[in-house]
Structure 1
């Protein structure tokens, strides 16, 4: 299945580079992982190191790796 439009991603982390007006995320892609992997260092290309699969018990056990602080 090919997506033709980007999904709408809402975010409340206003000090992120990708945060925009009305709490919209403007990143080209989003990477989310489980908290167990929160300290992994994913590069901006989201390459092969993100090929694992995990199961989350709830939304609160996940984290966003797309975050980049505003400069």
Structure 2
């Protein structure tokens, strides 16, 4: 059985992984809560390594942010 990737929508058009229709093409998505927005998570954005050991809880959508963002060149 082939596992299908979920469709990820993103409105940040200046991200390297953004495509037409507000679609994200990154192979890996890392989402954090805002209090960790500036944290260095030993990550290569949209790469293979992320700190996936910790867990946090968001009370609302507005408390989350995407660490996968990579500016378009």
Aligned to 1:70: 72
Query: Which is strand-richer, 1 or 2?
Result: 2
The RMSD of aligned alpha carbons is: 1.4
Matched residue, 1:58: 60
Structure 1 runs, 4 residues or longer, greater than 6 Å off: none
Pick which of 4-13 and 35-44 moved more.
35-44
Q: TM-score, normalised by structure 1?
A: 0.87
Residue matched to 1:46: 49
Q: Give the match for residue 5 of structure 1.
A: 4
Higher-helix-fraction structure: 1
Residue ranges of structure 2 left out of the alignment (5+ in a row): none
TM-score by length of 2: 0.85
Q: Report the count of equivalent residues.
A: 68
